[in-house]
Amino acid sequence: MRDGGPGIVADLQAGDTIHDMPMRSPVAAVSLCLATIAASASFAAPRQTANPKLKDPASLTEQAPATYRARFETNQGVFVIEAHREWAPNASDRFYNLVKNGFYDNARFFRVLGGFMAQFGLNGDPGIQRPWTFAGLPDEPTKQSNTRGFVSFARESSPNSRYTMVFINYKDNSYLDSEGFPPFGQVVVGMEIAEKLYSGYGRNNVPDQRRIISEGNAYLAAEYPKLDFIRRARIATTPAAR
């Protein structure tokens, strides 16, 4: 994986695309640490003690069950993603490990475009997020389609560049199927919650993903305070959990 992690997801109204623009500059790694700590402490979402394993991607490689559900508790309500390992094993395993170990807790829905998709998956702690930008998943074939409610990992234009960011399709985006975005799951409960996430910043005022990686939630709290967020995400204990 290249230095600097992901870039801003490119988006064209007439033909939306979800590729990330790569960021090559090593300067992006320089962050304002004291400001990050201060701003994060005052942000709306509760801060929890992070699992130390989250800083070591190599320690989180458990194989996921054939089918499982991930329950996302957000400030807007609850939605549930059902994942199927046979659809995209690499993606399913990665998502399972991230959810199970609390990676998505307190993360923001940092790019929500009405009529297109909702994207999330950058941890608010730069110390946790940074190692994952170098832990790209091997590409895999697309077996399902990016239609409404289906969930896929975001990626860059380079091979094997998926890692933690995912998006929920708001409409039929099946043209993405041939561009390396294999769905691994589907929202089966609470799609109405996913579709009411804050999208008021629009297409021309989106957070800089380089700054999210280097500064974390402090940057988002200061400049994008209206973003909705995940309070807690965990693997559901029963298939029907809501």
Question: For the chain, how long is the longest CA-to-CA vector?
Answer: 46
CA atoms of 237 and 110, how far apart (whole Å) = 28
How does pLDDT run across 23-58, given as a tens digit for each residue?
433 333 333 333 333 444 444 444 557 789 999 999
Is the torsion defined by CA of 28, 33, 35, 40 positive or negative?
Answer: positive
Instruction: Read off the pTM.
Output: 0.83
Inform me whether the pLDDT recorded for 17 exceeds 90. Answer: no
Q: Looking at residue 20, what is its pLDDT?
A: 57
The CATH number given to 19-47+67-235 is 2.40.100.10
How does pLDDT run across 150-176, given as a tens digit for each residue?
999 999 889 999 999 999 999 999 999
Domain ranges of the chain: 19-47+67-235
* Rounded percentage of the chain residues whose pLDDT exceeds 70: 78
Sole residue written with tokens 């973003």: 227
* Rounded percentage of the chain residues whose pLDDT exceeds 90: 75
